Amino acid sequence: MDKKRNYKLGIICIICSAFCFALMNLFIRLSGDVPTMQKCFFRNFFAFVISAIALLKSGTKLKIGQGNLRYLVGRAVAGCVGMICNFYAVDHMAISDAAILNKLSPFFALIISIFLLKEIPNLFEWSTIFVVFFGALFVVKPSFSFETIPAIAGVIGGLGAGTAYAFVRKLGIRGENSMIIVAFFSAFTTLMLAPNLIFNYAAMEPMQWFYLVLTGTAAAGGQIFITKAYSYAPAKEISVYDFSIVLFTAILGFTFLGQVPDIWSVIGYIIIIGTSVVKWYYTVKKQD
């Protein structure tokens, strides 16, 4: 009964996480013409404040496991690059398109894990990687024009996120506390982005401040919920529900921004999400 209850709680938490990250994407766009790097700084600063409070309230010891610092730094750098590219994509294309490109991350994680974890994908997993990147072409719609740049940034954002997930898995294997991982990422990236803020600060309107506070709050909520989700149930059982972000961003984008994905993007969504569902089913059956 406890396992069934935890499985349901895991699904609820990962869907709540997806909704929080969808809200984050919306608030990024609504904050207007604030430079991307500045948006990233405040996203991480406010997320750090919230995650630090949650960390202190949980009573977790503020101690990094021996030998884990380099992996925490690797996770933070990869996550920061991925976040900057994702924010740029969100600012310059439909937020549902940006969301689906960011969700290429699990497949990038498979590739990065070859080098970081010495885990070699099997033939089926290589096939899914090929198919999702084929699906991504429908969203990116490559052409020799500047309109392709945000989509390419979105793909690089997925690569950064996938690399970060591989580092998180490495840290999990080494027994690092998940709350430490969340707080370290927010703190480290805030420091990374601080010099740019100091030398290139752009004045903001009160509503832009408001939306950036909401961006950081939604980001912290997303990180906390996804950490909780994977504490209740294994990633192989519930990760597919993370794709609900595409539905949430499509609804929010249409409601608040008047964005409607074109038919090519929708085909890409179907290919990527469909492949992910097949991979999830294969993984669960394989490990049963």
Which tokens is 173 given?
């294997």
Contacts of 34 (CB under 8 A, 6+ apart): 202, 204, 208, 212
The pLDDT, as a whole number, for residue 4 is: 79
The pLDDT, as a whole number, for residue 251 is: 95
The pLDDT, as a whole number, for residue 7 is: 82
Which tokens is 16 given?
């709540």
Contact 199, 78 (CB under 8 A): no
The pLDDT, as a whole number, for residue 227 is: 75
The pLDDT, as a whole number, for residue 287 is: 63
Where do the domains of the chain lie? Answer: 36-209+260-287
Q: Mean pLDDT per segment of 10 residues, for the chain of length 288 residues?
A: 79 93 96 95 90 83 89 95 96 95 91 90 92 94 83 96 89 86 90 95 96 92 82 76 92 95 94 92 74
Q: What's the rounded Cα separation, in Å, for the pair 225 and 15?
A: 9
Contact 108, 183 (CB under 8 A): no
Q: pTM here?
A: 0.89
**CA distances in angstroms from 11 to 68, 192, 235, 238, listed in the order given:** 29, 33, 10, 6
